[in-house]
């Protein structure tokens, strides 16, 4: 049995993206915090986010317009009170980031004003950005501040396995965490545990997300008894670069916002056949349009073309993408870029209230792991980083307001007495590959009753195989992630099978479209 260490803190934050980092920085400096990240401090979806943060700064824009755009994009499944709660705090969140040192791109035409771009679903220019690498600017700035805080202990290369509940009361009191460097499992106890683990798009074969997006928080919360909702709504970003050496390079929404056109292989634009908003239609519509044309023509990809714009404008607006494409042999100032849709964002998740609280006292969920009611059936571009910031602030305030009761928590050590060393790991690699192909082929952009049933039946077998393997052998990172992925895949399929109408990101060829405002959330209870 490996040596177990026991840690005790005031707050445990699992995840170090925009949500986790923001929360850590907004808790008082006398709060003892453990910040647990499964890779390096900045590795996660936030770092790779290109677009920006939606907020109303344009005098011709309004908070009401931002709310209305969010509701329309979410196919009227978003909760209006949650949309108001988030959108009304957008400007103050941007101002907080600026005070913390995040350098956003300024408008050269209006000194002292932030440059605003427009993305799909938005009726106005309201996306605040740092060139085309906003996530990197936010992540690196906040990460450096966290490193300088004496009350925050960083646990990089630590992977949470399961949440720990109080044996005497329905409350979360900690987590079992695996150190991927020395292969030891430790216990972490705290009065508040926060899931900021991101989404689950790596359950699909093709994704824009980094490998850490394996649904860990959703799976752990489900096993701990929390409800989940709307996991049938997985957003596929319409424009992921199609290239053998860049499987997850996202081409930012802002390219279309700045005049980029989607074209068929013969150069013909095609979105006019699907939506009057053309390239600025919501992502679900654009992704389905691309999927339809690829299947109709039997082609491997379509093209995103902004080469008709001045080369200097393209290089200034998209400096990082321009350079990365050049490295891959593509010049976006001179040629159209081959693109395909790829799994991008998990719109459902662990159900929370406006404080980020889950069903389990002591447990919070913020960021992409959570279902807050903001996104409805489809997330509007650049509302995701905003949601991270707003709910990190809300959770911090709620945690601070809780009674400061001093207590020492007794938690049992991780028990490995009944397991042995596996002599081969082929089951893990095989099931990992099969699961992702099942999800891509049967639970992707377009679904059917038969495809969902096939996915459900095969995933049930995979779940049992993974459960048996987990019970018999020592754990390691691939097994922990596979266990979480198969759990989340099962929840996604169950949500999709429960949805009786086409709505937003859920499109089943055997169903009819929902009447606007008539549909409700798909909620699963353990």
Distance separating alpha carbons of residues 48 and 91, to the nearest angstrom: 22
SS3 content of the chain, % helix, strand, coil (to 5): 35, 20, 45
From the list 151, 123, 139, 148, the residue with the least C-alpha distance to 58 is: 123
Taking alpha carbons only, the member of 38, 9, 8 closest to residue 24 is 9
**HSE-CB for 520 with a 13 A CA cutoff:** 4
Nearest CA among 255, 213, 206 for reference residue 51: 255
Tokens of 390: 């707003």
DSSP 435-466: HHHHHHHHSSSSB-HHHHHHHHHHHHHHHHHH
Active site residue 494: no
Ranges of beta strands (E only) in 348-506 are 349-351, 363-365, 370-371
- Orientation of helix 384-401 relative to helix 90-100, angle to 10°: 80
Q: What's the CA dihedral at 375, 378, 380, 385 to 10 degrees?
A: 50
Catalytic residue among 283, 447, 451, 499: 283
Strand pairing of 228-229 and 349-351? antiparallel
Give dist(CA 59, CA 61) in Å, integer: 5
- Helix (H) / strand (E) element for 242: namely none
Q: Which residues of 494-526 are buried (b: 16+ CB within 10 A; e: fewer)?
A: bbbbebeebbbbbbbeebeebeeeebebbebee
The one-character DSSP state at 107 is P
- Count other Cβ atoms within 10 Å, centred on residue 88: 14
Strand duo 363-365 + 184-195: pairing: parallel
The answer to whether the beta carbons of residues 396 and 192 sit under 8 Å apart is: no
Distance CA 446, CA 155 (A): 40
CA angle 165/170/173 to nearest 5° reads 35
From the number of C-beta atoms within 10 Å of its C-beta (0-12, 13-18, 19+), residue 266 rates as exposed
Catalytic residues: 283
């Amino acid at each position: 049995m490996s040596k177990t260490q026991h840690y005790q803190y005031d707050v445990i934050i699992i995840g170090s993206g925009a949500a986790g980092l923001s929360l850590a920085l907004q808790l008082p400096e006398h709060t003892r915090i453990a910040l647990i990240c499964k890779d390096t401090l900045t590795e996660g979806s936030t770092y790779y986010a290109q677009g920006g943060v939606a907020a109303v700064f344009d005098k011709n824009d309004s908070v009401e317009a931002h709310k209305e755009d969010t509701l329309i994009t979410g196919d009227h499944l978003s909760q209006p009170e949650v949309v108001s709660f988030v959108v009304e705090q957008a400007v103050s969140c941007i101002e907080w980031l600026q005070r913390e040192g995040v350098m956003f791109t300024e408008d050269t035409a209006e000194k002292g004003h932030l440059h605003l771009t427009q993305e799909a679903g938005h009726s106005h220019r309201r996306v605040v950005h740092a060139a085309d690498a906003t996530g990197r600017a936010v992540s690196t700035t906040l990460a450096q501040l966290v490193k300088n805080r004496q009350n925050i202990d960083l646990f990089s290369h630590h992977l949470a396995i399961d949440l720990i509940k109080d044996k005497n009361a329905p409350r979360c009191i900690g987590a079992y965490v695996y150190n991927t460097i020395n292969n030891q499992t430790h216990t972490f106890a705290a009065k508040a545990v926060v899931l900021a683990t991101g989404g689950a798009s790596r359950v699909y074969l093709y994704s824009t997300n980094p490998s850490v997006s394996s649904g860990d928080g959703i799976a752990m919360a489900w096993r701990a008894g929390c409800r989940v909702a709307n996991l049938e709504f997985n957003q596929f970003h319409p424009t992921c670069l199609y290239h053998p050496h860049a499987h997850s390079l996202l081409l930012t929404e802002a390219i279309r916002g700045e005049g980029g056109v989607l074209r068929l292989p013969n150069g013909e634009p095609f979105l006019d056949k699907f939506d009057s908003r053309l390239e600025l239609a919501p992502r679900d519509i654009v992704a389905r349009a691309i999927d339809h044309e690829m299947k109709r023509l039997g082609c491997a990809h379509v093209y995103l073309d902004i080469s008709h714009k001045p080369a200097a404008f393209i290089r200034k607006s998209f400096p990082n993408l321009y350079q990365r494409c050049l490295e891959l042999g593509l010049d976006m100032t001179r040629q159209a870029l081959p693109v395909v849709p790829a799994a991008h964002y998990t719109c459902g998740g662990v159900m929370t209230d406006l404080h980020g609280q889950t069903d389990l006292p002591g447990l919070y969920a913020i960021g992409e792991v959570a279902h807050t009611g903001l996104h409805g059936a489809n997330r509007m571009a650049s509302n995701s980083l905003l949601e991270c910031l707003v709910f990190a602030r809300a959770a911090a305030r709620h945690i601070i307001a809780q009674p400061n009761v001093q207590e020492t928590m007794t938690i049992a050590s991780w028990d490995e007495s009944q397991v042995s060393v596996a002599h081969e790991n082929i089951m893990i690699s095989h099931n990992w590959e099969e699961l992702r192909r099942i999800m891509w082929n049967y639970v992707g952009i377009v679904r059917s009753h038969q495809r969902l049933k096939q996915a459900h039946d095969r995933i049930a077998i995979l779940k049992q195989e993974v459960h048996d393997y987990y019970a018999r052998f020592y754990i390691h990172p691939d097994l922990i992630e596979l266990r979480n992925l198969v759990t989340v895949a099962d929840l996604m399929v169950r949500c999709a099978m429960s949805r009786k109408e086409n709505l937003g990101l859920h499109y089943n060829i055997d169903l009819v479209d929902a009447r606007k405002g008539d549909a409700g959330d798909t909620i699963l209870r353990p």
